[in-house]
Structure 1
Amino acid sequence: MKKEKIQIFDTSLRDGEQSPGCSLNTNKKVEIAKELEYLGVDVIEAGFPVSSPGDYKSVEKISESINNTIVCALSRAVKTDIEIAGESLKKAKLPRIHTGIGTSNWHIKYKFNSTPDKILERAINAVKLAKKYVEDVEFYAEDAGRTENNFLLKICEKVIQYGATVINIPDTTGFCLPEEYGKKIRFLKENVQGIHKVILSTHCHNDLGLATANSLYGIINGARQVECTVNGIGERAGNTSLEEIVMIIKQNKHLNLFTNINTKKITFISNFISKLTEITVPANKAIVGFNAFSHSSGIHQDGIIKRKETYESINPKDVGVHQSSIILTARSGRAALNYRYEKLGFFLNRNSIDRIYPIFLEYADKKKEITDEELKIILKNSNINNDNDQKRYRNSIEIKC
């Protein structure tokens, strides 16, 4: 069976920038957009032009700078929003307007003080107006995760009828469970008239830590675009993490899916965006955290040294990391200690390692991590006979990356 493509819609520059404390000027946004194009994303959501003159300028400049990737501008289902979005995209080679409105009872009643019929009318008018500016119109049904399926079906059918090319089904509050969200996508896929004319998209928030899982269940059930951000940055607890969903697709061949992402650039883009946004990546963050390919437990280290696949389901090189790290701590065993000495050019027999190990533990109990210089001091303090222990040096690359 032929693999199906999942489009990667990156919203780091729009939803990602809504992270508290994150503020990017136009030059930084253009830099990031260029790197996202090199990474291989299919769509770059460049900003929300009506929100500020700065955001308008950023969308305009990104539109000029990007050649092969769709550039998208967000708008509400408001005439002025859509007009300004259309103007900002004039120089884009592949422009898209992303317009929409809240569709859940929570939004209809409390946010808009409106009725379902009026919301439906606004959705139709928004798509009709957006089509005057661009051919590629994406419609978002905000809070679709809490929207009744029958009303969601009705609104999807209408926006398809008036020319929407992509329909975004956001789990705006991170409310859904994965199976529930997957069933919603499947319901639309099987019941909406004209659904074959459009791409269904996921846009999941991480309030309950389920954004990536919900996106996964969305594509399993028929969605063919995932809206995500590098490092999972975004409003409140963030969005679906680009690196997570991409690597899940890459590693799980049985899904029979693929993306255009050059995964060997993932670590670079993660570090690049972290630096420009000044949002630190947690050490234990999946795929791109400093500890993602670091091993400090003796049991794990022994397994990794014998065969990496025992404790690594991902080859570090696939995401642009040179190699795994064996971190020496008080939890490390003799195998890891010997491995690190060999990397430094010291080849020691088992008897020598047994003599050094208690000294190593004394050091390790006082520190978080033992460095190479400290390993040399430990070796010196152990009074091991260099000749008997076949000590020799070699040029070697430090295992830490």
Structure 2
Amino acid sequence: MKEKILVFDTTLRDGEQSPGASLNVQEKVEIARQLEKLGVDIIEAGFPASSPLQFEAVERVAGESAAVVAALSRAVESDILSAWKALSRAKKPRIHTFISTSDIHIQGKFASDRYGRTLDEKRRTVLRMAVDAVAYAKSLCGDVEFSAEDAGRTDPGYLAEITEAVIAAGATTVNIPDTTGYTWPSEFGRKIADLRSRVPNIGEATISVHCHNDLGLAVANTLSALENGARQAECSINGIGERAGNASLEEIVMALKVRSDLHDFETAVDTREIYRTSRMVSTFTGIIVQPNKAIVGENAFSHESGIHQDGMLKNRQTYEVMTPESVGVPKTSIVLGRHSGKHGLKARLEALGYAIADEELEPVYRRFMEIADKKKEVYDDDLRFLMGDTLADRGSAYTLDYLHINSGTASIPTATVRILFRDRVYEESATGDGPVDACFRAIERALSISSMVTGYTVRSATAGREALGEAQVRIRDAERSYTGRGVSTDIIEASARAYIQALGLRLEHEENTTNETTEHGV
């Protein structure tokens, strides 16, 4: 009998903390649905106390998911209560509370004398706060996870002491994060083994690990921890997350599957759903998967060398340790174009992992036909970007209704835009230093607002001369940045959509966020 490794997906929480990533509530719900199809055991839906939008996202995911849904909180009573309220509709709720335990973190975050004057006094305070937080969470929810933030650099004796104490207080899972991606695989494995030998009640809780990738060792550290007694792996799709990211879910799962000769572990993940989950997350976050990324990169199953091609033609196993089909790399003969109907479009979207209600299909179909009229064939990547564009527009404050550009080598670039905002129409024209600048100026004049554009990128989202173009625009106010994304075969239109979306995100933040925190945990 193989031992089950629990897969804890933190794409919607830590993954969304990737610089430049931003998910609206509907996109989080769509990703959560796909994560359920993928077969993850726990979905960490967000950090409810950080903002009303985070609270709403956790609440929506919790209300729909059959998986365990976790909500993050600091070791603060108000955070824990907010997490519990957001999880009120969950079938399987989990409160995940954390506090820093390394000397570096304690001396930095708890520098005030109110936590103690000496390091030892501060450690006592942190231990008490951790126990109180777990005990309070346990009074609300039967499933409580505790994370010792920066456990990778925490004194082994103190880590064992705090682990024993939180288990006694009711923690059902104890997470040992390598928060800074600092540890070496053999070192991290010994840390888990050491805990198992030092903590007398360790058998009463599941040991989890949450590894960051600052040195490129997140997956290796996770596998080493599993070999030494951890039974829950915290990870994210495509490895996205703070700084260099988290351990990659697809790499952990496929390493365990392909090298099953080395261990007796298994997961509940349906690996055939990996590729479509990867593409959905990439589309919604705007974070491109690097071509040479293991498992899901564009080149993962590509062979250019003549020697490799010859070997593949004779026997695929010469250069592939897994098949593309095993991770769901699509091979389809369905061709979508201007003659395709709604049923064919809906079927293909569902095959790609998108849940579309009948009443939502019409606007998606209209966008599909706009692309189909400009291209002979609409490919799967076109549909993914179409869905990312469409879902991102749901609930957006502003809608681009009309755009006209006049530009050329012998004329001054001029743009006219018409924008819909809360049942009102705003229309303006402007000139600029190029068609994109003119477009942005027209948008600002129409809405009587301005912003500081700190980033603007354009790329080909799909292949061919009729490819979809994707534009990303990042703006900044005094407090934070907002990234908008637009997709179209017309790159000027894509740029306008991206700028309008970024402005809409800023407006939503100004109107809805009242108590956003700056500390984002493990």
* TM-score under structure 2 length normalisation: 0.61
What is residue 296 of structure 1 aligned with on the other side? 304
What is residue 224 of structure 1 aligned with on the other side? 231
Alignment deviations for residues 311-330 of structure 1 (CA, whole Å, 9 cap, x no partner): 1111111101257xxxxxxx
What is the letter of the counterpart of residue 277 of structure 1?
T
What is residue 29 of structure 1 aligned with on the other side? 28
What is residue 93 of structure 2 aligned with on the other side? 95
What is residue 265 of structure 1 aligned with on the other side? 273
Q: CA deviation at 1:181?
A: 0.4
Tell me: CA distance 1:322–1:66, structure 2 relative to 1, closer, same or farther (3 Å). Answer: closer
What is the letter of the counterpart of residue 92 of structure 1?
A
Matches within 5 A, 1:2-401: 2-67=1-66, 69-113=67-111, 114=115, 115-253=122-260, 254-322=262-330
CA distance in 1, matches of 2:30, 2:275: 16
CA distance in 2, matches of 1:252, 1:198: 27
SS at match of 1:91: coil
Q: CA deviation at 1:255?
A: 1.1
What is the letter of the counterpart of residue 295 of structure 1?
H
Q: CA deviation at 1:252?
A: 1.1
Q: CA deviation at 1:213?
A: 0.4
Q: CA deviation at 1:279?
A: 0.7
SS at match of 1:219: helix
What is the letter of the counterpart of residue 95 of structure 2?
I
Alignment deviations for residues 339-387 of structure 1 (CA, whole Å, 9 cap, x no partner): xxxxxxxxxxxxxxxxxxxxxxxxxxxxxxxx9xxxxxxxxxxxxxxxx
CA distance in 1, matches of 2:101, 2:157: 11
Cα RMSD, aligned residues only:
1.0
SS at match of 1:21: coil
What is residue 331 of structure 1 aligned with on the other side? none
What is the letter of the counterpart of residue 280 of structure 2?
F
What is the letter of the counterpart of residue 203 of structure 2?
H
Q: CA deviation at 1:283?
A: 0.3
Q: CA deviation at 1:189?
A: 1.5
SS at match of 2:139: coil
Q: CA deviation at 1:112?
A: 1.3
CA distance in 2, matches of 1:177, 1:231: 22
Q: CA deviation at 1:45?
A: 0.2
What is the letter of the counterpart of residue 186 of structure 2?
E
What is the letter of the counterpart of residue 44 of structure 2?
E
Q: How much identity, in percent, do the aligned residues show?
A: 55
CA distance in 2, matches of 1:46, 1:170: 18
Alignment deviations for residues 236-268 of structure 1 (CA, whole Å, 9 cap, x no partner): 000000000000111111211000000001001
CA distance in 2, matches of 1:92, 1:234: 25
Aligned length: 322
What is the letter of the counterpart of residue 201 of structure 2?
G
CA distance in 1, matches of 2:196, 2:267: 21
What is the letter of the counterpart of residue 56 of structure 1?
F
Q: CA deviation at 1:61?
A: 0.7
CA distance in 2, matches of 1:96, 1:322: 34
What is the letter of the counterpart of residue 70 of structure 2?
C
Which 5+ residue runs of structure 2 have no aligned equivalent? 116-121, 332-462, 464-522
SS at match of 2:105: helix
CA distance in 1, matches of 2:61, 2:175: 23
Which 5+ residue runs of structure 1 have no aligned equivalent? 324-370, 372-401
SS at match of 2:98: strand
Q: After TM superposition, what 4+ stretches of structure 1 lie above 3 angstroms from structure 2?
A: none
What is residue 377 of structure 1 aligned with on the other side? none
SS at match of 1:23: coil
What is the letter of the counterpart of residue 46 of structure 1?
A
What is residue 342 of structure 1 aligned with on the other side? none
SS at match of 1:304: helix
CA distance in 1, matches of 2:212, 2:140: 29
